[in-house]
Amino acid sequence: MSEQDSGVDAERLLSAMPRHVAIIMDGNGRWAERRGKPRYRGHWAGVRAVRDVVRFCSDREIRALTLFAFSSENWRRPKREVGMLMELFLVSLRREVSKLHKENVRLRFIGELEAFPPRLLSHIRAAEEKTRDNSGLTLSVAANYGGRWDITQAARRIAERVAAGELQPAAVDPELLQSHLCLADLPEPDLFIRTGGEQRISNFLLWQLAYSELYFTETLWPDFNAESLEQAFAWFASRQRRFGMTGAQVESLKGA
């Protein structure tokens, strides 16, 4: 069977390294509570883990890294914790953007960003503009993001085009819908990681994770480091990715 017959991107099928890694950074609050500290201290501690993971992926020339920083459901958390998260976002942007820019990292944010305070939104836009032309790792931060929202906004935009006469309903297919989703210009995540012991995807990249390898670890996010990510990558390399094919078909592609 040829690569064309399989209908699968052979690089994605056979590569031992992920092109795109998506992570739910869970466990910050529990990390702090176990140390008798306020929950927000765990979020501050988690920034170090972000630095380690970004550096690791950049050094290994991973194409994209997407981090779930704040879900659309996180507004339900205690007001103090939400307020501290907003402050953390702001301080982190001030401290980290110049470093990311020097490392050729392109930073962008996905989600309903208009819900954030104007000062924070201004810093977000400035960070995206500063790093817009960088050609290294694309670091996407999902903030006030939800997978259902992502699919809904894509469907709404397509419906508007149909209503305006730009599209016929028959032209709406999975490829068209995907082109209107966040991260449409990136390969779909090959490896999904969730720290903190929970085993669910919590409304994160619902469409994009359809064929991702799902890796769950008990490690709390502030304790997650380069060694932890190395273990996740080794696990990924051990997986046989089939995308609906049989194992024999995959083996035949390796020998092609």
Show the domain range for 82: 3-254
Q: 188 in the Ramachandran plot: left (φ > 0), alpha (ψ -120 to 50) or beta?
A: beta
pLDDT at 255: 59
Q: Which residues touch 195 (CB under 8 Å, ≥6 apart)?
A: 23, 24, 25, 26, 27, 217, 219, 220, 221, 224
> Averaged over 15-37, what is the pLDDT?
95
Q: Which residues are catalytic?
A: 26, 74
Q: What is the DSSP string of 74-93?
A: GGGS-HHHHHHHHHHHHHHH
What pLDDT, in 10s, does the model give residues 155-201? 999 999 999 999 999 999 999 999 999 999 999 999 999 999 999 99
pLDDT at 72: 76
| Residue 187 to residue 201: CA distance in whole angstroms | 19
CB count within 10 Å of CB 113 equals 15
- In the chain, the number of structural domains is 1
pTM check: above 0.75: yes
Whether residue 124 is predicted with pLDDT greater than 80 in this model: the reply is yes
* Whole-angstrom distance, CA of residue 107 vs CA of residue 4: 34
What are φ and ψ of residue 226, in 5° steps?
-60, -40
Local structure of 194: helix, strand or coil? strand
pLDDT given at position 230: 97
Nearest partner of 186 among 253, 106, 245, 128, judged by Cα:
106
The Cα–Cα gap between 120 and 167 comes to 37
DSSP H or E segment with residue 112? none
236: confidence class by pLDDT, cuts 50, 70, 90:
very high
CB contact at 8 A, 62 and 140: no
CATH number at residue 156: 3.40.1180.10
Q: What is the pLDDT of residue 241?
A: 75
